[in-house]
Structure 1
Amino acid sequence: MARKTVVLFPGVGVGHLAPMLELAKAFLRHGGGAVYVAVAVAELPVMATGFAATVARAEDANASVAFHFLPPPPPAPGGGSGEPEPEQDVLARMLRFLRATNAPLRDLLRSLLPPVGALVLDMFCGDALDVAAELGVPAYFFFPSGAAGLAVFLALPARRASMSTSFAGLGASTVLSFPGAPPFKVSEMAEGLSDDGEVCRAILRVASRIPDARGILVNSFESLEPRAVRALRDGLCVPGRATPPVYCVGPLVSPGGGDGEEHECLRLMDAQPDRSVVFLCFGSMGAFPKSQLAEIAAGLEKSGHRFLWVLWSSPPPSAAGEPFDGDDDLDALLPAGFLERTRDRGLAVGSWAPQVDVQRHRAAGAFVTHCGWNSTLEGVAAGLPLLCWPLYAEQKNNSKQHLNPPT
């Protein structure tokens, strides 16, 4: 059998890259030697928090996967003023950037040997369908979040088209219901989706293109979200047109194990009783202003519980509030004396920790999480109770899920 290349295009952002790397490993495991896997990497500077480091670790750990860095697209016409765009346009900039990567992606697909047999696109890379159609390559979408999130995402364009006002025009407290997903308020929608602005229009356009693919891969499994999977497969989420086949390929989570060097936080865990440590981690974009860090620290100290707290030592550009200085160390970020007073039962770590290994450690007792889907799946797989603190994107909806944990 002739070998074929499967190209994965994860878009930008650690939360989208990490599960697609696990998907790459799955293709290699099940490909029977007939599949060559390549990852097309595009890096938007404004979304680069942790991205380059994640790619570097992935390259080191996955010698069988080829990483191809797409050259940055040329500046958009009329964009040469040199003035930075408003911070609230980060997502809009990301979507414009991904549209502009069509040309370098096309050049890559044409150059690869063995020839490309399939293109797997991140949920935000809908414009790359045009590249696949031009080259005659079958295209699939990979939805890195759960089946309920996919059900809502697919249904949004038709729902908005049926309304005479924006979602925001319905009122913040209005409850929305979609097949296969728990109800949620307009105020709980992902940022930018409710107001008919540039971000909303771009996301709805991308969502409307997903049914044009050969199939949709979703990072979940049927027994975890049976209601959502049933709604997707019954065609309830895309009224008026056919839904492509939906394949549950999850849970795609890192197996852990790291690079062989034990992180200091695992040494802390080794010294703790079983199920005694509260793990706090809020994802690659989960930065807080100093004032809120102080409140979290006060709560941890007064609780008396053992803890491991991962916090970013510098915020991403979109962090709200009064961001702390990225040049500060942890002692300066946290209340005076906090680290010393809690040293026998807690540890604060700047920027990164081996999250999967922590959650699977015998001493882990609970997980305080932002409810990003990667973290949610990791917590479910580890059997930890999740204490939900949703921050952005679809996390408020993830926190409402009534998941059926694996037995």
Structure 2
Amino acid sequence: MWLCVLIPLLVLSKIAVSKSVISSLPGFPDDVQLFYYFTESERNPYDDPLLLWLTGGPGCSAFSGLVYEIGPLSFDYANSGGDLPSFVLNPYSWTKVANIIFLDAPVGTGFSYSRSWQGYNTSDILSTAHTYSFLRKWLVDHPKFLKNPLYVGGDSYSGIVVPIIVQEILKGNEVGYEPRMNLKGYLLGNPVTNSHDDINSRIPYAHRVSLISDEIYESTKRNCYGEYINIDPKNALCANDLQVVSECIENICRPHILEPKCPFFSPKPNALKWDQGLHEENLIELLLQSQLPSKRCRSYNYISSYIWASDRTVQNALHIREGTKNVWVRCNRSLSYTKDVPSSVNYHKNLTKHDLRALIYSGDHDMLIPHVGTEAWIKSLNLPIVSDWQPWFVDGQVAGFKMIYSNNKYSLTYATVKGAGHTAPEYKPEECLAMVDRWFAGFPL
């Protein structure tokens, strides 16, 4: 019989949660308190990879990744009753093949908090520094995992910060920081890489999947010169075309183009700013309603996380410090966060010079971060192609398509996940577990 070991702990910036006292790194304040969940591998925790997992946003809790994507638990929607939702085991958890740290980062995400208001002022660069500091302290306090192959992963907005964290680990190893980390690679799902280019790729993607016609696409491409975000306000032809495009796609669910669009989360976009993302500001109001609308939307499943994580008995069990969180939210949209890294492509280019493995995957029904934009920046790395576009399979069925690139000791596997949205494991858990299991083992997808 398998026993799920789920250990939620609070990581202090000065003292790890156990016997060891660890001095804070120079230049970092002591007020940032990062919360995490750690789950050992169900297979072989002593030899299986150690994966540090970051959920996107920025500001989406690691708990979201744990229960809705790759963690060992899922909410039992059919049988939940009483005051709290109940859980079932996730048969496609990535903890079947890896030890996983689910980290609430940046500060202000999930149960992470700061002792001072100044500590909440963070950014891409500062957040990655906090995460790197956290990982060093965690490994000092858990030395039995130092020999495990280390990977850093995440999805969505984590596509900005993960390559920076990987670079920091490499630099730390080069200058002799302790503990030395057994870094082997990184993986990213539906990743934000260059916000402008990612969003700009939505129109070509919408054309590929027949949401806009050939005529509309060609006219928009011609009149807007391929630039659909920062348009010339005097360019009336482009503005008119974008208005037509907006009318075609405004009622499409961007995280998965085949699923129903929920009016609670996506206000009607402006014709020239049709790149609005999803929001959950109205979710608390939805919780107060006695009945949900008749049309079932995937995002309604997120309600369970609000109920569970906001419950005082749950917070007591997790040892959440009184007064550190007024309200728990799945994705904190009110962070004092500066996006000071407009593109992570150059970080990816730097990483190609090292002995690393990378896995980049995209749900092919995602219109938030379309795979066509992801494929474009991967091509810009100018890596030699080892294996060109071909299908990969799960249970004898095509699960997606893949390409493999290599440059000396660096290798990058790119995969689409057929039928998946944003993010892929939430929609295609079986296929994504098979994908990551094979990749960790060094086998072809």
The answer to whether the superposition gives a TM-score over 0.5 is no
| Greater share of residues in helix | 1
Relative contact order higher in (CA < 8 Å, ≥ 6 apart): 2
